[in-house]
Structure 1
Amino acid sequence: MDKIKPWGKSLAIDLAGCDHDKLISPEGLKRFVVEVVTVVDMVAQGECYVERFGQGDLEGYSAMQFIETSSVTVHLDEVGNRAFIDILSCKDFDANKAEEFSKTYFQAQSVKSTIVERG
């Protein structure tokens, strides 16, 4: 039986010790999403959605950007100075570039990434 090629991959990036000012700026979050889409050589579809919601310690900004090959989502934790980034794509991309760009952009002290082949 032939091995079925994965449909794509999902990259989850967890950043800790981020610059707090980067986590409270909706404009900065939108700029990050636009730039990370370019870094991983994808094409955005439509506008980037940025919303602030939640209550108490869970209140914060999230972003969603459709791309031609799936999506990019970001959730920011202002209380813990953390950022959670997910890139799902059926087109291959350089996960290391995405991780390094994200760490640098949010000025994170640490990063943990997980890649899951999908399909």
Structure 2
Amino acid sequence: MRIVSSGLFVVLSVFCLSAHAQSDIELRKSFAGESTEVIQEAFNQEQAWGLCTSIDLHGCKNIMNESDESEATIKRFVIELCELIAMKRYGAPAIKWFGTGGVEGYTLTQLIETSCISAHWADDRVFLDIFSCKFYDPYTAIEFIKKFFKAEDASINIWIRV
């Protein structure tokens, strides 16, 4: 666990550790920054149920506004992503515009035969999750997603699910 100077973070961390000590909740390690080989080895050794990659993009130049063109772009994106990471799509993606005022944007859900891909767009940000019982290279996905939406930066988390 990383300790930072924020007092609130320390308080929350202590609370979480106390809750962990009093329950059967296991704090899982994020594999972000580990090599694909290390992640795959852990995936195999732990007989993982699946791999989950969460990607938060910021400063995207390819912004999705409420339009038929944006929906078509999102559909093309998820088709290309699934092909890239060798996931078989199950049905058409659900792409809907939600929200009002300052809290609105597209939501995507694409079922895949081994689970799903979901994403949410807000202004120049994208929040995307890939979960699959079949192993895939998370960094290949991350680089493609970052490039597709022309993001200035990204933050990621990678977990194996057991």
What is the TM-score when the length of structure 1 is the normalising length? 0.91
Q: Say which SS state the counterpart of residue 74 (structure 1) adopts.
A: strand
Q: Tell me which residue corresponds to 1:27.
A: 72
State the AA in 1 paired with 2:89. A
- RMSD, matched Cα: 1.2
Partners of 1:99 and 1:4 in 2: how far apart? 23
Q: Matched residues in 1 for 2:78 and 2:47: separation?
A: 28
Which residue identity lines up with residue 23 of structure 1 in the other structure?
M
Matched residue, 1:87: 130
Checking the alignment, whether the CA contact within 8 Å between 1:22 and 1:29 is kept in structure 2 is no
Percent identity at matched positions? 38
Q: Is the 8 A contact 1:15 1:84 kept in 2?
A: yes
Alignment map for 1:58-69 (pairs within 5 Å) = 58-69=103-114
2:52 corresponds to 1:10: yes
Q: Residue in 1 aligned with 2:30?
A: none
Structure richer in strand, relative to its length: 1
Of the candidates 75, 78, 81, which is equivalent to residue 120 of structure 2? 75
Total equivalences in the alignment: 114
Higher relative contact order (CA 8 A, sep 6+): 1
Moved over 4 A (4+): none
- Equivalent position to 1:96, from 113, 129, 139: 139
Distance 1:4 1:102 in 2: 28
Whose Rg is larger?
2
SS of the counterpart of 1:65?
Answer: strand
CA distance in 1, matches of 2:108, 2:46: 32
1:48 lines up with 2:89 in the alignment: no
Amino acid of the residue matched to residue 38 of structure 1? Answer: E
TM-score scaled by length of structure 2: 0.67
State the secondary structure of the residue aligned to 1:44. Answer: coil
Q: Which has the higher helix share?
A: 2
Cα displacement (A) at 1:56:
1.2
Amino acid at match of 1:70: S
Q: CA deviation at 1:22?
A: 3.3
